[in-house]
Amino acid sequence: METVAPGTRIVDGHKDIVDTWKSLSRSSPNMAVDAISVVAGGIGIYSFAASLFGGEQRQGANIRVHASNGVIKGANDRANLNTGGQIRNIYGYDSQGILLGDSGGGHVNPDGIHDFKLNQGNRRQALYIDIVADEDAICIPLIGVTQPGGGQHFGWMGDVFRACGLEWYYGNVLVDGSYMPNCGWIDANHQTQDTPDGVVTVGQASFKWYLPSFSKDPGQSPDSYDMDFYCHPRPFEVRYDAQPIEKRTVEQRQERHERIRRGLKVNELIISPHAKHLASEICEDENSLGPDFLSLHEGMFCDMKNKKWYPICDDNAGLIDNCLVMNVANRTLSGLFPHPKALGLVDTLFSYDRMVQWD
């Protein structure tokens, strides 16, 4: 594990970010934290409530990782979705890139929250956090970091994955009352290697970010942040097999997409009522990955593997042809559609192990 954090050179030369940290370090530890969301259209600022953070430790940061969760239709049980998963380890570094400690691994449970606590023998604040993936891929929409020595808080949102052309999916963790950040995927590479102790899995993916870069100075306007700073180059870095992820070839990127798809634990359909979650939009993005998706607001369904969307039948709107009918009892979507190479209509059927309704 490297001890010089990616982006240190950039941060040292970026006065706004240094000033942001100085301002935040003087602020009250109990204030709501304004975190920066990096999206394709620019920069957004959202307030993190206290519930998004874990408790303060005497020594070492507490890193609360969130994942999406929902209710299984027909069962009324909350489910840990395919987007939840395992984290192998989390490392914390100081502002000079010196390793302070690590948390060990853990799984994000069906409640969508897991607190990872850095084990270190002092109260120095970790300003770089490095999250290392395990073989069970995870898509992270939101992280709240609570520092020791006063409980200073920092927030991070997964929108930056989508904005920077990395693998993403919708999320349903609420920020600032109504905003739901997208989540970013990380996973180990699943390659194997012969060792004296047998065959082991090698390689990993991780992402590291500089905490003050994603926290807003209370006196600063969102317009003063430059989106290119976050992606070209970035105080946020995703690494894959010890090299920056943007250095991969098209073939390597496609291989990673397919591996994440194969690793989905359950064949599930995600159903969202939220206006922000458009099935057509997630289908059109080449970097979106995850379970099939149905937007109740849009009345559309996305076949995520083939990136094709279909309308959902609606008797009230008179939409009864060339559309899909959802059968919750059988956990299916089905319909008749014209085929470009066949006469008449062809049955189209999507069947699932479970259907999960997002809150």
pLDDT tens, residue by residue, 174-183: 998 889 999 9
Distance CA 166, CA 260 (A): 13
* Mean pLDDT, residues 96-110: 88
Beta strand residue intervals within 42-103, DSSP E: 42-48, 62-66, 69-72, 78-80, 86-93, 99-102
Encode pLDDT of 178-229 as tens digits.
Answer: 899 999 888 876 554 555 555 444 445 788 888 988 887 655 555 556 667 7
- For residue 350, what pLDDT is reported? 94
* Mean pLDDT, residues 266-293: 92
Lowest model confidence (mean pLDDT) among 150-159, 207-216, 253-262: 253-262
List helix spans (H) across the chain. 8-12, 15-26, 159-163, 227-231, 250-262, 279-284
Among 306, 280, 272, which Cα is nearest to 68's?
272
Could you tell me the pLDDT band of residue 147, with boundaries at 50, 70 and 90? very high
* Mean pLDDT, residues 293-313: 94
Among 179, 173, 88, which Cα is nearest to 138's?
88
Of the two residues 190 and 235, the one the predictor is more confident about is 235
Q: List phi, psi (to 5°) of 163.
A: -60, -30
- For residue 202, what pLDDT is reported? 42
Distance CA 122, CA 145 (A): 17
User: Percentage of the chain surpassing pLDDT 90?
Assistant: 34
* Mean pLDDT, residues 68-90: 74
* Mean pLDDT, residues 249-272: 74
Lowest model confidence (mean pLDDT) among 55-64, 72-81, 86-95, 321-330: 72-81
Mean pLDDT score of the chain:
78
Lowest model confidence (mean pLDDT) among 113-117, 220-224, 339-343: 220-224
pTM > 0.85: yes or no:
no
* Mean pLDDT, residues 280-302: 94
Most confident of 13-17, 184-188, 204-208, 345-349: 184-188
- For residue 300, what pLDDT is reported? 95
Distance CA 301, CA 298 (A): 9
65 bridge partner residues: 114, 143
